[in-house]
Amino acid sequence: MRYEDFYRRSIDEPELFWAEQARRIHWDTPPQKILDQPQPPFRRWFVGGTTNLCYNAIDRHLAERGEQLALVAISTETGITREITYRQLFREVNTFAAVLVSLGVGKGDRVVIYLPNIAEAVFAMLACARIGAIHSVVFGGFAAHNLALRIDDAKPRLLIAADAGMRGGKVLPYKPMIDAALSESIHPPQHVLIVDRGLDAQMTRIEGRDLDYAVLRAQHEGAAVPVTWLEANEPSYLLYTSGTTGKPKGIQRDVGGYAVAMAMSISTVFDIAPGQVMFSTSDVGWAVGHSYNVYGPLIGGATSLLYEGLPTRPDPGIWWRLCERYGVRTMFSSPTGMRVLKRQDAAWLKASDLSTLKWLFLAGEPLDEPTAHWLTDGLGVPVIDNYWQTETGWPAITLMPGLDLKPLKFGSPGLPSPGYRMKVIDESTGIEQPPHQKGVLVFEPPLPPGCLTTVWGDDQRYLSSYFGHFKELLYSSLDWAIRDEDGYITILGRTDDVINVAGHRLGTREIEESVATCPAVAEAAVVGVYDELKGQVPVVFATLKQGVAESPHIVAQAMRQRVVDQLGGVAKPAQVYLVNALPKTRSGKLLRRSLQALIQHTDPGDLSTLDDPAALDEVRRALDRGPD
């Protein structure tokens, strides 16, 4: 089917369209009404239908593909690989579900999961889904205070945690952070269920509170736990994202709409059919990890690779060797991850047999054109950017090779996904902008299935955070964008990442993209810094590719000139700092606000998600040294 027809039908006849898509999953009770929205922007999809995410991800596949690999959990940190069939996954999830039930967890109870990318994280998520509990995965290694905030908001009956994670060969003990978080928490759970990996020999347990999963697993191994059928609009999970008030927002996802969105997108967007293999490099604690490490591939009857480790360890070819070993068809990663590899020898891209690899999808932040070209040339496969948010749960803007692949345009993630009614509007007037004119990207309600239904426990915050920015009832993405004459949308960065230079509004993305076209540059981050004369000026922090021969001064001059040539003199960076590493979160996002704070000698904010503290020290040394 042509993309245009597929998309148009989703907009013009949404109830008929989504009724058709709902046939992709199993319903215990068919939906009685496809869409109900008596109080926009609140809406309910597939009203009256009952289903279960775990059943759709495992049980329904057992007859046809019980011996097929469902999950391959690979850790280059521990050297352990676990290959798990659908039948084995069924047994492990039932056992885990029996453990949860024995601890008093039932339908509607919240369970916080604080685990790294290990098989037990998947078991725990699916076990919660099986019994109707609401899971909330918190990125493993999150600082104690941030964990405590999420615990107090979710009020969980149980916390599931590992003794430790590992990164770069270094053990990261979790238990001290858990103990600190629970001592701070107002609503600590009664029990902590510990998956002991044997990494922290010094781990201490609190008698009566801390339980050993291995012991309980042995007691309940082989148990059969019946599926709890849930009405489509009951909550499936909470996923916390940063809020402007400092209090995290619990993004609430439903059951039925999410299952349908996963079933449709895994096929039409990611071109994965039953029996094929998908490799998402995300952590399970992030939105991509939920959707395309766990639920999407399994609902689609595919094999999912789950990876714990760095993209450069034991060497920069590890991801590509995994693609070769397991016959990966679709890989999903981040631009940041690929820019890390871009700093390495390009020969690693061709060192493995990638004949089965058809698509590389990237998301998380905008994909710069030089990295896209480097990957396309090196891999020989289409590199497809896609745009989405924690709130959307699946790509809102993408191309759809599983349906009808439209031409790629470097710099743009593509076209609106089915069900997303998008506009680019003027931030002041709310009027839709003409092609190539910058504006705010907004979605008209109703949001399609799979998107957040509200903020956990706070409908008013849902309204004010997402629908309170314009006179018209519109979901604000809080992202600047432009749309071209063909309907392709390009994201220019957050509306709060705009530099106002002498009255000229410049997106940091635009300047970063320009700097990244310099041959010597591996990665760049641009921030706006206060200037008495111009209001703000752009400042560049950049890392260089290995083997660059030119002096730092020459390279910095080239960056400035490239920006002037491409964007004009008003965008010329006031300062350029060349560093060996840029500060990022563990999910790979650049900490631009921390860079801005450091250069302005203000508080860099919450650094609990910082991947490598040495990167921040590197920036401080560069600032002390002065610009290049």
Banded pLDDT at 503 (limits 50, 70, 90): low
161 and 239 inside one domain: yes
Residue 340 belongs to some domain of the structure: no
Q: 438 lies in a domain? A: yes
Angle value at C-alpha 435, between 430 and 438, nearest 5 degrees: 55
Which among 444, 479, 514 is the end of a domain?
479
Kindly state whether residue 221 falls inside one of the protein's structural domains: yes
Residue 608's CATH number? 3.30.300.30
Which of 423, 446, 479 terminates a domain? The answer is: 479
Residues 6+ apart with CB under 8 A from 410: 367, 369, 372, 373
Domain identity same for 468 and 519: no
Q: Which residues have C-beta within 8 Å of that of residue 556, sequence separation ≥ 6?
A: 576, 578, 627, 628
Taking Cα atoms as reference points, which of 578, 566, 553 lies closest to residue 513? 566
Element (H, E) at 335: helix 335-342
In this structure, the answer to whether residues 239 and 188 fall within a common structural domain is yes
pLDDT in tens, 353-389: 999 999 999 998 778 888 888 999 999 999 999 999 9
346 located within any domain: no
Residue 71 lies in a domain: yes
* pLDDT for position 592: 83
Residue 608 has pLDDT above 60, yes or no: yes
Q: Which of these three, 449, 479, 509, is where a domain ends?
A: 479
Answer yes or no: do 450 and 592 share one domain: no
Same domain, residue pair 446 and 512: no
Beta bridge partners of 425: 432, 440
Percent of the chain with pLDDT over 70: 96
Q: How far is CA 482 from the centre of its chain?
A: 23
Range of 546's domain? 497-625
Higher pLDDT: 599 or 66? It is 66
Q: Are 444 and 474 in contact (CB under 8 A)?
A: yes
| Together in a domain, 43 and 163 | yes
Contact of 305 with 279, CB cutoff 8 Å: yes
Are 471 and 501 in the same domain?
A: no
| Mean of per-residue pLDDT scores for the chain | 92
Number of domains in the chain: 2
What CATH number does the domain containing 181 carry?
Answer: 3.40.50.12780
Do residues 133 and 248 both lie within one domain? yes
pLDDT > 70? residue 242: no
Q: Given the structure tokens 């709902």, which residue do they identify? A: 22
Angle, helices 613-625/592-599, rounded to nearest 10 degrees: 30
Query: Is 414 found in the same domain as 515?
Result: no
pLDDT tens string 561-584: 988 887 778 889 999 999 998 888
Distance between CA atoms of residues 82 and 9, nearest Å: 42
Q: How many Cβ atoms sit within 10 Å of the Cβ of residue 549? A: 7
In a domain, 246, yes or no: yes
Is there a single domain that holds both residue 528 and residue 597? yes
Is 248 part of a structural domain of the chain?
yes
Q: How far lies 550's CA from each of 343, 546, 566, in Å?
A: 16, 11, 22
Residues 446 and 579 in one domain: no
Per-residue pLDDT tens digits for 148-162: 989 999 999 999 999
Q: Which residue has the tokens 């060497």?
A: 315
Q: Look at residue 27 and tell me if it is in a domain.
A: yes
Same-domain status, 8 and 71: yes
> What angle do helix axes 14-21 and 256-268 make, rounded to 10 degrees?
80
C-alpha–C-alpha distance, residues 535 and 169, integer Å: 45
Identify the CA nearest to 260 among candidates 450, 34, 29.
450
- pLDDT tens for 246-272 read 578 899 999 999 999 999 999 999 999
Q: Are 42 and 33 in contact (CB under 8 A)?
A: no
